[in-house]
């Protein structure tokens, strides 16, 4: 495994997006825990979760509790694992998502996440999405208060613009360590945000990083996919999955990129974890553009 930096922490160059373990059509707990353990066995030291990653009404924190249980049951050392969680979104249980960015809500949510994770402080706490009904500075100010209180060790923001990153950096200073936006072979409209993170020294965590290619065959079909792209061609030539090629391409975009592909079974995260070792040539990268 190769490593990158989030704030003062060194983490695996590819993390685990734990959301598929708790939302619709989730696996049973045995397979879910096995997936987390497979990630750890493969050298993954970043796990991304959120209080809103659940399926049914009344399940807030399902994914956080699952991750905490999986870490507790792991036979090896987990002291180097960074668990990054998020607050500010909700799921009523009907498949929809809500946004609540008031300072009071974010502080209560962080305290609840801390309790579920069972640690003395949250390693990385991310504001899940800006709330259009709440001034951005007020939401980010809640992260500042959580940092000052020691509830969280580092702060991140998600689904944001360059202006929001700049404003958050002014409020949080070095306490802001990461930005999590959608970015993939098919969705590249956060290029400006990625480059700003590069200039500021912030980690950029692409969510849904496999958009535009077919999901790993180990994961099974998951909505519309695109076959026959350059990613599939390079994968065939290298004898690897398109998933690995996509993640290696993301890693080549910038040294601040740390992809967090989701996984619902052990085989898939084992495959993703091999991506940092896949060296793409200049010719490969030109084709993938």
Active site residue 3: no
Shortest CA distance to 16 belongs to which of 34, 202, 279?
A: 34
Q: How many CB atoms lie within 10 A of CB 162?
A: 15
**Measured distance CA(241)–CA(236) in Å, rounded:** 7
**DSSP helix/strand/coil, 176:** strand
Alpha-helical regions (H) of the chain: 29-41, 62-73, 103-117, 136-149, 162-172, 191-200, 230-238, 242-253, 266-272, 282-288
Calculate the alpha carbon distances from 254 to 163, 206, 249, 261 in Å.
20, 12, 9, 17
Catalytic residue among 3, 53, 74, 125: 53
Shortest CA distance to 44 belongs to which of 244, 261, 225?
A: 261
Q: Give the H/E segment covering residue 83.
A: strand 82-87
Sign of CA dihedral 222, 257, 175, 160: negative
Point out the residues that are catalytic. 53
């Amino acid at each position: 495994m190769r490593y990158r930096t989030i704030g003062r922490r060194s983490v695996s160059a590819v993390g685990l997006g734990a959301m598929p373990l708790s939302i619709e059509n989730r696996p049973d707990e045995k397979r879910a825990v096995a997936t987390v353990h497979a990630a750890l066995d493969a050298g993954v030291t970043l796990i991304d979760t959120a209080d809103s990653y659940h399926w049914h009404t009344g399940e807030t924190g399902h994914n956080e509790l699952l991750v905490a249980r999986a870490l507790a049951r792991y036979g090896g050392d987990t002291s180097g694992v960074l668990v990054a969680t998020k607050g500010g979104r909700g799921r009523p249980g009907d498949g929809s998502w809500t946004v609540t960015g008031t300072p009071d809500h974010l502080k209560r949510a962080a305290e609840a996440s801390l309790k579920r994770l069972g640690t003395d402080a949250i390693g990385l706490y991310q504001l899940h999405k800006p709330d259009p009904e709440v001034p951005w500075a007020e939401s980010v100010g809640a992260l500042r208060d959580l940092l000052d209180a020691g509830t969280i060790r580092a702060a991140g923001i998600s689904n944001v613009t360059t202006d929001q990153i700049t404003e958050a950096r002014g409020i949080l200073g070095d306490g802001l360590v990461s930005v999590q936006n959608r970015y993939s072979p098919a969705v590249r409209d956060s290029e400006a945000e990625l480059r700003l993170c590069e200039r500021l020294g912030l980690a950029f965590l692409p969510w849904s990083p496999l958009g535009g290619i077919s999901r790993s065959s180990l994961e099974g079909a998951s909505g519309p996919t695109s076959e026959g792209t350059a990613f599939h061609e390079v994968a065939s030539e290298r004898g690897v999955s398109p998933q690995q090629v996509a993640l290696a391409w993301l890693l080549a975009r910038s040294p601040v990129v740390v992809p967090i592909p989701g996984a619902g079974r052990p085989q898939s995260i084992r495959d993703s974890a091999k991506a940092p070792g896949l060296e793409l040539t200049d010719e490969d990268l030109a084709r993938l553009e």
